[in-house]
Amino acid sequence: MEEIKGSLITVDTLLQDLRKLGIEEGMTLLVHSSFKSLGQWVLGGPVSVILALEKAIGENGTLVMPTHTPDLSDPSGWMNPPVSQAWWETIRKEMPPYDKDLTPCEWMGVIPDTFRKQKGVVRSSHPQVSFAAWGANASDIVAGHELDHGLGERSPLAKIYDRCGWVLLLGVGHGSNTSLHLAEHRASYAGKKEVECKSPVTSDGIRQWINYMDLDYESADFERLGADMEESGGRIRRGKIAGATAMLMPQRELVDYGVQWLEQNRR
């Protein structure tokens, strides 16, 4: 029998790596993640990652993850993949409404989809761009998440900003750095526009489609934005969490830099 090669990744080894990167007790920490990037032998799977993160920030910290559900939208706008127009009315009629206790967030990966189910985790009410949180200020972070401009001033992102939180990119790049969408809301640049969104929800016990407004978000230049911030001396700490490349940065500095960068570089 061939011997399994590679290091065994545990809660303790992950915790050591997180602390080495600079994650401290009491932090408000927004995590974007790729479980596969960690390596093949994570004992306990995504549960171990979550437990390590929670131990790293402690009971006085707050752990936040995006639990977005972009598929809860009108099928006429689906592009990846598009669906036959003949299906549209059936989808609109039969798609289950958003349920913060039930609706999965498979698009975001197995770590946040596992995290949202943990006892003590609370999730915001937005049908497309919800966030889940655990810890000292979890309820405050997810409360009052408005439908319009769901990544803007009345969102968990803005509350993380107000609390001087941190962003951890775990095996992913700035293209997944959702906080830069808050910068989009705050910046003035050419081509900025709103779009109308639709999602199925339950209101007063009745399933219905609702309309709301949001930005026409664009993340194609986020990698360049992040690289420019780092080159200009921005506080981005780089390291390894198991086999994954990781970046840790203060969210307020990131967003403020992002506003200036977008205003100077988007045309």
Q: pLDDT at position 80, please? A: 81
> What integer pLDDT is reported at residue 137 of this predicted model?
98
Q: pLDDT tens, 187-234?
A: 999 899 999 999 999 988 999 999 999 999 999 999 999 999 999 999
Predicted TM-score (pTM) of the model is 0.95
Residues with pLDDT less than 70, the chain: 1-6
| HEC readout, the chain | CCCCCCCCECHHHHHHHHHHHCCCCCCEEEEEECHHHHCCCECCCHHHHHHHHHHHHCCCCEEEEECCCCCCCCHHHCCCCCCCHHHHHHHHHHCCCCCCCCCCCHHHCHHHHHHCCCCCCEECCCCCCCEEEEECCHHHHHCCCCCCCCCCCCCHHHHHHHCCCEEEEECCCHHHCCHHHHHHHHCCCCCCCEEEEEEEEEECCEEEEEEEEEECCCCCCHHHHHHHHHHCCCCCEEEEECCEEEEEEEHHHHHHHHHHHHHHHCC
Please state, rounded to an integer, the average pLDDT across all residues of the chain.
Answer: 96
In the prediction, which pLDDT does 6 show?
67
* pLDDT at res. 81: 86
Any bridge partners for residue 42, and if so which?
9
The pLDDT of residue 57: 98
Confidence (pLDDT) at 7: 85
